[in-house]
Amino acid sequence: MISTQKISKQFGDLVVLKDIDLEVEKGKVVVVIGPSGSGKTTLLRCLNLLEQPESGLISIDQQSIDFGKKLSKKEIRSFRKKSGMVFQTYNLFPHFTALQNVMEGPVTVQKVNKTEAKKRAVELLTKVGLKEKIDVFPYQLSGGQQQRVGIARAMAIDPKVMLFDEPTSALDPELVGEVLLVMKDLAKEGRTMVVVTHEMKFAKEVADEVIFMDEGKIIERGEPVDLFERPKEERTKKFLNLIN
Ligand code: ADP
């Protein structure tokens, strides 16, 4: 479902991603871990074209983008619809209700009619446990509830893959569980997901594969039991020791 070949990205002189090859099969959950600054967020943002790599190739659901060539706006627009992004800080529109936040993408980007978009938004908000909150504004919601709106909004464009960028790291500890629960449900439904997180328990329980990144490279990857219990690389061992 997702494949990247030799993705490289730099900001000025700083090389942030170096020749990243990533494969994610349909219905699988890949969790990306690694120290702060290792390039995890940039990798996700490249998959969603919020950042454009200098070179390499990304394919999602049979559409390929070759960064060696100039990309058309149309190409970028259609590729961005392949993935739904959930941000650390929710990024909801403060002046829109939960329902309006979820309807926004389909109505303005995809030109879905409002009745249809509303029906789907209500379904999605119900799915994330917020049926009672559809007409409420973000400031009236807890962080966990706001993030669940964020997940419903990302799903509203019916993306092929869901990308989660540290979705629980801005939350008070008691609110983390409700967001992880929604994510677990999505995984169970067979959604293809790439999740950057520090929640190792979630990674152990839900991930099909864990990827450890450091200094813009994938250092090691494997099933959670192998990577967490029997890491091969020194850098992985060191990182896991620090966080345990
Ligand atoms: P991680 O998610 O692993 O913490 P990031 O992908 O956020 O890592 O960042 C990797 C490196 O790229 C960091 O050194 C960060 O400061 C730098 N970086 C990220 N975004 C930008 C940007 N827009 N401009 C300049 N440097 C950036």
Q: pLDDT in tens for each of the 244 residues of the chain?
A: 999 999 999 999 999 999 999 999 999 999 999 999 999 999 999 999 999 999 999 999 999 999 988 889 999 989 999 999 999 998 999 999 999 999 999 998 888 899 999 999 999 999 999 999 999 999 999 999 999 999 999 999 999 999 999 999 999 999 999 999 999 999 999 999 999 999 999 999 999 999 999 999 999 999 999 999 999 999 999 999 998 7
Query: What does the pLDDT read at residue 57?
Result: 96
The residue contributing the CA closest to ligand 1 atom 1 is 37
Which residues line the pocket of ligand 1, CB cutoff 6 A?
Answer: 11, 14, 16, 34, 36-42
Q: Best of 16, 46, 169 to mutate for ligand 1, by most ligand atoms within 8 A of CB?
A: 16
Rounded distance from Cα 189 to ligand 1 centre (Å): 32
CA 59 vs CA 38, 46, 63, 219: distances in Å: 22, 11, 5, 22
Query: What does the pLDDT read at residue 244?
Result: 74
Query: What does the pLDDT read at residue 218?
Result: 97
